[in-house]
Chains A and B, each alone.
Chain A
Amino acid sequence: MSNIAIGNGGAIVYPPGTSDAEIEAAALRAAIRHGRLVIFWRLAILALLLGTWEVFARYGIIDSFFYSYPSAIADRLYELVMEGTDEAPLYYHLYVTMEEAMIGFLFGSVFGILFGVALGRNRMMSDVLSVYIKVLNAIPRVVLAPIFILLFGFGLWSKVALSFVMVFFVVFSNAFQGVREADRAMIANAQILGASKWALTRSVIIPSAMSWIFASLHISFGFAIVGAIVGEFIGSRYGIGFIIQTARGVHDTAEMYAAIVIIVVVVLGAEWVMTRIEERLARWRPPAMNDTNG
């Protein structure tokens, strides 16, 4: 029985007398086939893009001085990983950038959550302070970079400060919104069951704002890296941003792209870790809502 299922405009029709086991086996086969097809097309598109890029650059259709090409980038990436730069090995640059971004991310998200929850819970405070937050939020974050360099110097803390402001407002506004969206019946229920104000915040408001907060953490980790790297552009001695900046100085486009690849890998890795953590914390949620990684 190799071909039980008969396609019928999306729905699958089985001939009468097909057993459950056969239907399940057919469904499993279809799922595997679908998964393989997805992977095939992903790889095909990647190969097509990289191949076109390579060929175009080699035959001079695009200027390889500006656009470089994949094999040159791969070579440079290999050199970077194995030998690093003149100043330091790659892992040290990566460590510096990650340290800046992680500290900024940590403080930015903690303060974002604290302020978001506090203002979300306190009408008076949010009415008074909202105007200031709007004003601060209207400042494009990167214009602060030179100021932070002046204030905190070329070292760690100027980049941390920039990462912090990149992260803070995103997390803050999501935490605030999450608190405001907390279900009224649920709040009333907790109050009548006997929850004090603090117990209400801790065991109802914060958990129900958690999916909002997590959504913002996903985005803002990328922002934390942006903050660190922009800070490094302006002035630094180490870091991925520093590598890109020096490569630009000597017109080494391959190295610039190689540094970008490194950052992409790091951000994807962090994203993956964060998704795992979220899945653990959100076991209570119906699986349908979680099932986006399929």
Chain B
Amino acid sequence: MGLADVTDTSPAIELINVNRRFLSPDGKSFATLSDFNISVARGEFVALVGPTGCGKSTTLNLITGLGKPSSGEVRVMGQPVNGIDPRIGFVFQADALFPWRTVIDNVVAGPLFRGRSREDAYAAGRDWLARVGLAKFENHYPHQLSGGMRKRVALAQTFINGPEILLMDEPFSALDAQTRVLMHEELLRLWSQTKAAVVFVTHDLEEAIALADKVYVLTARPATVKAVHTIDIPRPRVLSDLRYQPEFIEMSRRIWQDLKEEVKFGADASEAA
């Protein structure tokens, strides 16, 4: 896949008039995305918020190439998505570490899959474990770590591949509130060193505002973009204090106005279903 130089100014990710339809178990077709448009610049941190089950994860699947749009176009670095792009990294909501591998063997999985030498991979793996503060745990198995530590391993596992695009599907939703704030800081620190374009899916509005440059509010299913809010809080951000500042609260209130109706609508729809 030759990445032409002329496309260097193109956005990292573009979804243009994307529709995605699924078949329900009884053979009925239904839409999860409809006329979906989004554009993420290189190095930009975008958060998608929307009601549960609205199609946020579907969006990420389309970008990875694991799913295909029913119509419309998905472009990564200016080129149509065709299979899994090696420039993409993905952090999952569920624990997606390999439980039978030690921490270090989990981290080096990517480089080894991609054909780097063992020596090289393990050197890089140790380096990344040190960066996420887990150097002492390289020979532990995932079940011996706390939820927060496992997420750090997952971050190291993803960042070691040097992704230019980072997709995150509610990565911290299973963590407790304090650990989550620590992970936010960790993520912003790692991200600031790589400057990957990020699409961060969440239904935690405060999380979205604290992390992102832009917050996209999606409608209930089928999802379209309802509103885009630019978050102009300067970086580097001090997250521990951020959420008590008046402009943060004001921003939350404003975005919540958009989100609230959709959440209610989505909840009604899923109860009826």
Q: Select which of A194, A204, A210 is within 8 A of B161 by beta carbon.
A: A194
A185 to B64, CA, bound (A): 13
With known contacts A183-B94, A193-B113, A284-B143, A188–B66 Cβ distance under 8 A: yes
Q: Binary interface profile of B, 114-151, with partner A (CB < 8 Å = 1, else 0)?
A: 10000000000000000000000000011100000000
Known: A185-B92, A284-B142. 20 other contacts (CB 8 A): A183-B94, A186-B96, A186-B97, A186-B98, A188-B66, A188-B92, A189-B97, A192-B88, A193-B114, A193-B158, A193-B161, A194-B84, A194-B86, A194-B110, A194-B114, A203-B109, A204-B98, A207-B100, A285-B100, A285-B143
Mind listing 26 A-B residue pairs with CB under 8 Å?
A183-B96, A185-B92, A185-B93, A185-B95, A185-B96, A186-B96, A186-B97, A189-B92, A189-B96, A189-B97, A190-B109, A192-B64, A192-B66, A192-B90, A193-B113, A193-B161, A194-B114, A194-B161, A195-B109, A195-B113, A203-B98, A203-B109, A284-B99, A284-B100, A284-B143, A286-B143
Chain A: interface size category:
20 to 34
Chain B residues with CB below 8 A from A203, complex form: 98, 109
Contact between A283 and B96, CB atoms less than 8 A apart: no
Any chain B CB within 8 A of the CB of A191? Answer: yes
Contact between B90 and A188, CB atoms less than 8 A apart: yes
Any chain A CB within 8 A of the CB of B89? Answer: yes
Chain A residues with CB below 8 A from B92, complex form: 185, 188-189
Any chain A CB within 8 A of the CB of B101? Answer: yes
Cβ distance A214 to chain B, nearest Cβ, rounded Å: 12
Contact between B98 and A285, CB atoms less than 8 A apart: no
Contact between B141 and A193, CB atoms less than 8 A apart: no
State the interface size on chain B (CB cutoff 8 A). Answer: 28
Chain B residues with CB below 8 A from A183, complex form: 94, 96
In the A-B complex, list the 9 residue pairs whose CB atoms are closest, starting with the nearest.
A189-B96, A194-B113, A193-B110, A194-B114, A284-B100, A185-B94, A185-B96, A286-B143, A284-B141
> In chain B between 54 and 100, which residues have their CB closer than 8 angstroms to a CB of chain A?
64, 66, 84, 86, 88-90, 92-100
Most buried by B among A183, A188, A190, A210: A188
Taking chain B's interface residues, is the majority helix, strand, or loop, or is none over half, making it mixed?
Answer: loop
Q: Select which of B84, B93, B161 is within 8 A of A191 by beta carbon.
A: B84
Chain A residues with CB below 8 A from B143, complex form: 284-286
Most buried by A among B66, B86, B109, B114: B109
Any chain B CB within 8 A of the CB of A196? Answer: yes
Q: Which residue of chain B has its CB nearest to the CB of A186?
A: B96
Contact between A285 and B99, CB atoms less than 8 A apart: yes
A100 to B66, CA, bound (A): 47
Number of A-B residue pairs, CB cutoff 8 Å, is: 67
Cβ distance B130 to chain A, nearest Cβ, rounded Å: 20
Any chain A CB within 8 A of the CB of B32? Answer: no
Any chain A CB within 8 A of the CB of B157? Answer: yes
Q: Which residues of A contact B (CB under 8 A)?
A: 183, 185-186, 188-196, 199, 203-204, 207-208, 210, 282-286
Chain A residues with CB below 8 A from B158, complex form: 193
Chain B residues with CB below 8 A from A208, complex form: 100
Cβ distance B207 to chain A, nearest Cβ, rounded Å: 20
A282 to B101, CA, bound (A): 10
Chain B residues with CB below 8 A from A185, complex form: 92-96
Cβ distance B107 to chain A, nearest Cβ, rounded Å: 10
Chain A residues with CB below 8 A from B94, complex form: 183, 185
With known contacts A196-B113, A284-B141, A189–B86 Cβ distance under 8 A: no
Chain B residues with CB below 8 A from A210, complex form: 100
Q: Which residue of chain A has its CB nearest to the CB of B85?
A: A192
Cβ distance A120 to chain B, nearest Cβ, rounded Å: 18
Chain A residues with CB below 8 A from B114, complex form: 193-194
Chain A residues with CB below 8 A from B98, complex form: 186, 190, 203-204, 207
Cβ distance B109 to chain A, nearest Cβ, rounded Å: 5
Q: Which residue of chain A has its CB nearest to the CB of B102?
A: A284
Cβ distance B112 to chain A, nearest Cβ, rounded Å: 8
Chain B residues with CB below 8 A from A188, complex form: 64, 66, 90, 92, 96
Q: Which residue of chain A has its CB nearest to the CB of B95?
A: A185
